[in-house]
Amino acid sequence: MPDAPPHKVVIIGSGPAGWTAAIYAARAQLNPVVFVGVATQSPSLVLPGGQLMLTTDVENYPGFPEAVSGPEMMAMFQKQAERFGTTVVGRDIVTCDFSTMPFTLHDSAGETVRANAVILASGATANWIGLENELRLAQSGGGVSACAVCDGALPIFKDQHLAVVGGGDSAMEEAVFLTKYASKVTVIHRRDRLRASKIMQQRFLSQPNADVMWNKVVVDVLGDEKITGLEVEDTTNGRRSTLEVRGLFVAIGHTPATGFLEGSGVELDDAGYVILGDRSSRTNIEGVFAAGDIADARYRQAVTAAGMGCQAAIDAEHWLAAHGSN
C-alpha cells in the first residue's frame, strides 16, 4: 500500500488559537487536522481546550453579552471548526521532524503523521503552587485563578479580600488590577523583598487597599465549594496562621507547552516561548507557524490567541499556495 498523502495543515493544540486557525483553514479548503491533546485530571498540565477549561465564567470575549463558561466556549469553537470539515484527533503530538518536507510528526499512539504545513498552538500552562485544594477549587470555579485580568472583575470577587501569590512584575500587575475591584489585596511573598521592578512595586504599594505578607508561603487553601481562607507558613520560623480571603490568584509564571519541539529546530526564547517573525505567525522554519500563548508571554488572552490563530491560518494558506501545496 502506498503511503497516504500528507495533510495540508496539521494544527497542534485546541485552545482559542488552535480552533480559530482550524476554522480559517477549513474555510480555505485546507482540510486541517487538529491534534487536541490528551485529557488529564491535573490543571498543571495542558488540557484539550487550553487554559479556558479552568475558567468558569468568560465575560471579556466579544460577542458574549452574558458570561459563558470556558469549556462551553471551547465546545462552540470546536463545533464551528468541525462544521467546515476539520478533522479532530484526540491525541498529543510528542515529537516533530521539520528537517525535510513534508514534515513528519509522531503522536502519542505511536503513529506517524505527515504534513505540508504545521501550526503550533499548544499554549502555555500557569504555574501552580501544587496544593490539592488549590487545583480542585481552580477546576470548580471556587475562587482560585491564575489570571486576574481574565477573572478579577467577576462578581464573586467584588469588594472581597483577595490574595495574590508571587513577587515579580506579573504578580504586581495582577495585584494592581485587582485593587480596582477588591476591598483589599494582599500579596503573599516567600521573601522579605519583592523581585518586581521598583516602578511596579510602587504602583501596587501606593494603592490604599494594598498589603503585603512577607516571608510567607501558602501551604493549604481552605474551603469546600468556595475558598474561605489560606493557611500560610512563615519561612523564617515555620509558624502557621490563617488568612481569611475570598479569592486566590496565583502569579508565579507560566510554562509554554513546547516540550514536544525539543530537537525540532524551532527557535525558542530563554523562557521556552516560540519566537515569531515581525508582525507574522512565521517561525524560523519555512512552513511552520505558531499562534496563541505558545508564542505570547505578554497578553495571554482568549481574544488575542484567537486573533493569532487567524493570522497563522492565513499565513499558512499563503505559504502553501506559494509552494503549490494547497
Q: Omega of the bond prior to 71 within 30 degrees of 0, cis?
A: no
Round to whole Å and give the CA distance between 73 and 64: 10
Question: Does 151 participate in catalysis according to the annotation?
Answer: yes
Which residues, other chains included, contact 43 with Cβ-Cβ below 8 Å and sequence gap of 6+? 53, 54, 125, 126, 128, 135, 138, 139
Closest to 245 measured CA to CA, from 220, 276, 281: 220
Catalytic residue among 92, 96, 107, 151: 151
Closest to 290 measured CA to CA, from 6, 80, 4, 15: 15
Round to whole Å and give the CA distance between 158 and 91: 40
Question: Does 310 participate in catalysis according to the annotation?
Answer: no
Q: And the C-alpha cell for 176?
A: 494592581
Round to whole Å and give the CA distance between 224 and 132: 12
Catalytic residue among 92, 96, 107, 150: 150
Catalytic residue among 96, 147, 293, 310: 147
Active site residues: 147, 150-151
